[in-house]
Each structure stands twice: as C-alpha cells, then as structure tokens.
A = this chain, B = another copy of it.
C-alpha cells in the first residue's frame, strides 16, 4: 500500500457576516498556528468575488504586512494553517484552494485526510479532470464540479458521499459559507458567534482570541450553512455512523486552553498524568516534563504521586520555524537547541520525566541522556499515552510504521534504547477512562483498529501502464 501521500495536520477558521472578516480570520489562524506551521492562507468574499492571499510560512509572517488585508475585502472569509511532510511542502499546495467551475468561484479549506483519494483521483482524471495540486482537497472540488445535482448544497452532499476519511471542511462562495464535519467526527470543529457574525474554528481557543462566544461543537456528520439573512441551517445529509473522535487531539495535538469533544484539554491532560501515576508509580525526588506539551500530565503525575513538580528542562522561546523542518536529522539537533536542563535542580536526584508520546525514540533518548548528564541519579520515563505503533491515516502527520519505534519493539526494548531506568506507558484502558468520553474514540495509532477501512488503490504499475498507453499508439 502506498502512503507517500502527505498526511496533513491542519486547522481551519471561518467567519461570516463581519466587516473585519479577513482580519479576524488572521487572528483565528494565529490561535491555531500549533495545528500547522508550514503554510497558511485566507480567502475572503466581498459578495461579488473571492480574494486570496496564501503563502508558505507562519501566520505572523504571511500576514505580517497590514497592506495584505486591503486585498482581502468583504464580510466573509475562511482560512487554513497547514503542516505536511516534505514531499508536498510546496507553494501550490497551500490552502484554501480557490477555483472557478461552472457555478462560479468556490474556495475550500480542509483539515483531515481521505482514504480513497487515489481511486477517486484516477477515476476523475480518466473522465478529463486536471489536477493542479497533490492534495486530497482538490479531489473534493473536482467531485463538486462533476456532480450532476443542481444546487450548491446538493452538489456538496453528492461529492462528500463519494469520499471516505476524515474531514472538517469550510466552503466559501461569493454569497455563502458552509462548514461540514465528517460522520466519524475525527477532528474537532466548533461554532461560535461574534455579534451578528458566525464563526467556525478547529478549536475553541480561536474563538477566545477574537472574543467570540462558544456556541457548540459542530456534530459529526453535520453540515452548517451560513445564509445571507444572518441565520444558519443545519443538515445531517450523510449516512449515520458511530462517531470516533481522535483521542490523540487530547494527548498532544490540541491546545490546552481549548475545549474539544465537550472537554477541556488541560484538565484531561492532568488526569492522564494522575492515571499514569496510579499505573506506573515510582520512588523519586522530582517530576519534570518535556516542555511544553508534557507539562499538564507531569503536574497531574506529581500531584497524584506526591512528588514535587519542577521546571527541570527549560525551553528556548525563540525556537521557531527554522527547526520545524521535517527532516529527521534536524529533529535530533532540535532537542539540544530547544531544551536545557537546570543542573542545580537535577543534580543527585531521582527524576521522573513525563512526555506525551514516543515516536522514533531518538528525542526521548537525548532527553534521558541530557537529564543524566545534568547529574540525575535515576531517570524514569513516563508517557501519558499508550505506545504509538500505527500510523494515522485520518489527518495527523505520523511517520511510516517502520519509523515508529513501538511498532517493532517491546516496551523493555524501548526503555533500553532510550537508556531510561524505567519506562511506563499509560494503558489504553486508562487513557479511555481518563478522557471519559461516553462514545467510542479513534485510538488506531495505539491499537491499529482503524474505524474506516482502506480501499485498494491503483498501484504504480497499473498507473504506469495506463499512462504510457498513448506512447504505443503514436
């Protein structure tokens, strides 16, 4: 199976019916920057035309020049922040995508990943569609363009009924904004209100920044249509399935101040730490965390274990885009660049280090060594989630399976590799219990049980034959 297609991590934001639509979208994207640091874009509508500005780079850089907003007029706008693996990190893949088709112009911003992308693309191309990007999102647009139904809403439903996978989508035409969350509800998407304007965002922290009120989450399988009269219409046009929200959003991805899937992320993370302390206690002098994502779990662990929590590793605040590069070599270098131990604190101590996950193991190994060099007598690693053994196909950028250390190594082997005195992962049951959602969750990255199956894509050999057909017929 070919998974070289980029698995994207993204954030979306949209606002409808506000004079400062583009400016507020900029602020919303700024709050969602942690969901994608590679590129970003905004498309606005002034009622007659769509206007776009999008680039590789951080939100503050791409939209740093106030003159940009003069080119984004209108009272509706959607925006996108994006992260992807190296291959597809190119200008043309920056979202939102904006195109002309028979019914006028439309822009789309997409957070998620399709599992039947290759099959659909091959089929569309066979009927004459031309692809400009390598993004799943473009498939959705083409399906929209070839749909045989009449109204925009019908066409969107027709198109989305063909795709399988994870998606939170924001569509913008010259007169409407439409938000859709996939039936499984893998990724979070919430609805807010700012005066008379409707706001949609991946996480509630984006509503907070612009001082919008949190109204509710958009439901799995729901389509929300913002209309010119200031109202919204809610539809559930897809076949209903049991929702499976992504539990990794709680573990690592969402911001701690966000409320997603009905819960506050910070409080959940502390609870993960407490549960971890119950499952894997250890005698120690101090609990520290890998900043900043591991901090709430470390505080929960320390509280439950009755061991003092300290800031044992200090993070350089000026670590920026330079070290976000996805090359593995730089990630290694990154640990040193990012973190420095407080030696006076760790010297002669038995130290518990809390992190949220272990991916390749190389970072953990460097951290254990760093803590030990700072004088710790024992280093116990505790992870606030189960071993990550399987890649995510629903929108979180994870390495190939063979790069995931837990896919081929036991906990003991990982412990030895990272040179820790002990290693404990939160159990899958403990994770689910601590999160405390009433419904099912997607924990495929820990269990390999994928809620949506993959269709077999056309493989490269077949494609090669197909393509070269004309060469023989010249």
- The reply to whether B266 and A344 form a contact with Cβ atoms under 8 Å apart is yes
Interface segment among A100-108, A353-361, A393-401, A442-450: the answer is A100-108
Judged by a CB distance under 8 angstroms, whether A175 is at the interface is yes
- Which of B103, B145, B227 meets A129, CB within 8 Å? B145
- Which of B58, B316, B345 meets A33, CB within 8 Å? B316
- How far, in angstroms, from A264 to B311 measured CA to CA in the complex? 13
Judged by a CB distance under 8 angstroms, whether A322 is at the interface is yes
Assembly stoichiometry (copies)? 4
- The reply to whether A30 and B64 form a contact with Cβ atoms under 8 Å apart is no
- The reply to whether A311 and B256 form a contact with Cβ atoms under 8 Å apart is yes
CB neighbours of A439 from chain B (8 A): none
Judged by a CB distance under 8 angstroms, whether A314 is at the interface is yes
- Which of B31, B122, B344 meets A340, CB within 8 Å? B31
Judged by a CB distance under 8 angstroms, whether A34 is at the interface is yes
- How far, in angstroms, from A138 to B317 measured CA to CA in the complex? 31
Quote the shortest CB–CB distance from A140 to chain B (angstroms).
11
- Which of B30, B131, B256 meets A342, CB within 8 Å? B256
Judged by a CB distance under 8 angstroms, whether A155 is at the interface is yes
Quote the shortest CB–CB distance from A174 to chain B (angstroms).
9
CB neighbours of A255 from chain B (8 A): 314, 340
- The reply to whether A100 and B131 form a contact with Cβ atoms under 8 Å apart is yes
CB neighbours of A340 from chain B (8 A): 31, 205, 208-209, 255, 257
Judged by a CB distance under 8 angstroms, whether A275 is at the interface is no
Judged by a CB distance under 8 angstroms, whether A259 is at the interface is yes
Q: How many residues of A contact B (CB 8 A)?
A: 83
CB neighbours of A88 from chain B (8 A): none
- The reply to whether B470 and A150 form a contact with Cβ atoms under 8 Å apart is yes
CB neighbours of A60 from chain B (8 A): 318-323
Judged by a CB distance under 8 angstroms, whether A212 is at the interface is no
Contact A128 to B145, CB < 8 A, known contacts A58-B318, A102-B466, A311-B256? yes
CB neighbours of A104 from chain B (8 A): 467
Judged by a CB distance under 8 angstroms, whether A215 is at the interface is no
User: A128: nearest residue on chain B (CB-CB)?
Assistant: B146
Quote the shortest CB–CB distance from A215 to chain B (angstroms).
15
- How far, in angstroms, from A131 to B100 measured CA to CA in the complex? 5
Tell me the chain A residues, 85-135 only, with Cβ under 8 Å from chain B.
99-104, 122, 125-132
Interface segment among A180-188, A191-199, A292-300: the answer is A292-300
Residue in A132, A142, A154, A466 whose Cβ sees the most chain B Cβ within 10 Å? A132
Judged by a CB distance under 8 angstroms, whether A403 is at the interface is no
- How far, in angstroms, from A90 to B129 measured CA to CA in the complex? 23
Judged by a CB distance under 8 angstroms, whether A469 is at the interface is yes
- Which of B130, B295, B467 meets A142, CB within 8 Å? B130
- The reply to whether B311 and A299 form a contact with Cβ atoms under 8 Å apart is yes
Judged by a CB distance under 8 angstroms, whether A153 is at the interface is yes
- The reply to whether A100 and B130 form a contact with Cβ atoms under 8 Å apart is yes
Tell me the chain A residues, 274-323 only, with Cβ under 8 Å from chain B.
292, 295-296, 299, 303, 308-311, 314, 316-323
CB neighbours of A127 from chain B (8 A): 102, 128, 146
- Which of B126, B141, B150, B257 meets A102, CB within 8 Å? B126
- The reply to whether A34 and B317 form a contact with Cβ atoms under 8 Å apart is yes
- The reply to whether A150 and B473 form a contact with Cβ atoms under 8 Å apart is yes
- How far, in angstroms, from A414 to B150 measured CA to CA in the complex? 55
Judged by a CB distance under 8 angstroms, whether A437 is at the interface is no
CB neighbours of A471 from chain B (8 A): 151-152, 175
- The reply to whether A256 and B314 form a contact with Cβ atoms under 8 Å apart is yes
A-B contact list, 6 entries, CB within 8 Å? A64-B322, A104-B467, A266-B311, A267-B344, A299-B309, A299-B311
The 9 A-B pairs with the shortest beta carbon distances in the complex, nearest first, are A128-B146, A102-B125, A151-B473, A264-B344, A257-B314, A151-B470, A33-B318, A60-B322, A104-B467
Beyond A60-B321, A151-B473, list 12 extra A-B contacts (CB 8 Å): A30-B316, A33-B318, A61-B322, A100-B125, A100-B131, A101-B129, A127-B146, A128-B128, A130-B142, A150-B469, A257-B342, A292-B317
**A residues apposed to B, CB below 8 Å:** 27, 30-31, 33-34, 37, 58-61, 64, 99-104, 122, 125-132, 141-142, 145-147, 150-155, 175, 205, 208-209, 225, 227, 255-257, 259, 264, 266-267, 292, 295-296, 299, 303, 308-311, 314, 316-323, 336-337, 340-345, 466-467, 469-471, 473-474
